[in-house]
Amino acid sequence: MSDDLINIDTEQLHLINSEVLANKQEPQHPPRILLLYGSLRERSYSRLIAEEAARLLKYFGAEAKFFDPADLPLPDSVDDDHYKIRELRDLAMWSEGMIWVSPERHGSMTGIMKAQIDWIPLSMGDMRPTQGKTLAVMQVCGGSQSFNAVNQMRILGCWMRMITIPNQSSVAKAFKEFDDAGRMLPSPYYNCIVDVVEELVKFTLLTLGKSDYLTDRYSERVENAEETSKRVNQRSLYRKSVIYPFLIDQ
């Protein structure tokens, strides 16, 4: 240990385990990807792009599931036991990666998209629904191409402790990019979506079985060690107070 690290808890500062990172164990199941979209319109272009992404996920050997945001309450308006909230959180726990697709509205992601993200907590007891999971972000635009929504979702992905892949997609004038059946037409925009999905599956495969290690943090190890020490000391003090009460005042 370097003498320069004078403020470090040496017991909690671990060397990097390259063997864990180099582990090439084959996954025991297809990568599980949850798709969220940010519009309730009957012809929702964010949903149509999510459906195109799901087809690509299946081709690349992944399993895809959707969450329908219809009937999802506004954040904090109901208790957590609402059936749509339970459904969303169960899907988040099931997933190993996510794709978020939002329209851009007033220079931002939609409230529907944000509500879904807000209902997924950073932790539920000792479980973390998003930490260490991969994320791809995409948006659709009614006019010229913009990246406001994907930039915001990228920040949220970081806040949710997700591994957000470098690639992203923004489809300009989305109403021109689909046929009457709701299938996306060939274009550079479509090719970019293929790139994003392909990259997401690659990153998800790379991190399968390693996300806990990748997101293991020194600060949290120190905090957990301090909490454990407090509990042990409290139990010891309690035993002394019961068995040897006269020692507490000494």
Q: What is the largest CA-CA distance in the chain?
A: 84
- Looking at the DSSP bridge assignments, the partners of residue 170 are 139
Same domain, 197 and 224: no
φ, ψ for residue 193 (rounded to 5)?
-65, -40
- Looking at the DSSP bridge assignments, the partners of residue 163 are 134
Taking alpha carbons only, the member of 68, 100, 216 closest to residue 165 is 100
Q: Contact at 8 Å (CB) between 96 and 33? A: yes
Asked if residue 183 is part of any domain, the answer here is yes
- Look up the CATH number of the domain holding residue 85: 3.40.50.360
Same domain, 59 and 92: yes
Report the first-to-last Cα separation within the chain, whole angstroms: 39
Taking alpha carbons only, the member of 96, 83, 87 closest to residue 30 is 96
Asked if residue 180 is part of any domain, the answer here is yes
Q: Contact at 8 Å (CB) between 111 and 146? A: no
Asked if residue 17 is part of any domain, the answer here is no
Burial class from Cβ neighbours inside 10 Å (0-12, 13-18, 19+) for residue 5 reads: exposed
Asked if residue 5 is part of any domain, the answer here is no
The tens digit of pLDDT for each residue in 93-112 reads: 999 999 999 999 999 999 99
Same domain, 153 and 239: no
Q: What number of helices (H) and strands (E) belong to the chain?
A: 9, 7
The tens digit of pLDDT for each residue in 53-81 reads: 999 999 999 999 999 999 999 999 999 99
pLDDT band at residue 220, thresholds of 50, 70 and 90? Answer: confident
Asked if residue 18 is part of any domain, the answer here is no
Same domain, 152 and 86: yes
Residue 247: its pLDDT value, please?
52
pLDDT > 90: percent of the chain: 67
Asked if residue 34 is part of any domain, the answer here is yes
Total number of domains in the chain: 2
Local structure of residue 131 (DSSP, 8 states)? T
Asked if residue 13 is part of any domain, the answer here is no
Same domain, 244 and 126: no
Same domain, 225 and 206: no
pLDDT band at residue 6, thresholds of 50, 70 and 90? Answer: confident
φ, ψ for residue 183 (rounded to 5)?
-95, 140
SS3 (DSSP) at 163: strand
Q: Contact at 8 Å (CB) between 60 and 32? A: no
202 CB contacts (<8 Å, ≥6 apart)? none
Across the chain, mean pLDDT equals: 88
Asked if residue 92 is part of any domain, the answer here is yes
Res 1 pLDDT > 60: no
Same domain, 225 and 124: no
Same domain, 152 and 240: no
Same domain, 152 and 60: yes
Same domain, 171 and 234: no
Taking alpha carbons only, the member of 132, 129, 135 closest to residue 33 is 135
For 244, the domain range is: 218-248
Same domain, 184 and 136: yes
Taking alpha carbons only, the member of 90, 88, 97, 93 closest to residue 61 is 97
Same domain, 204 and 236: no
Of 1-5, 10-14, 45-49, the range with the lowest mean pLDDT is 1-5
Res 31 pLDDT > 80: yes
As given in the structure block, the two tokens for residue 117 are 């993200």
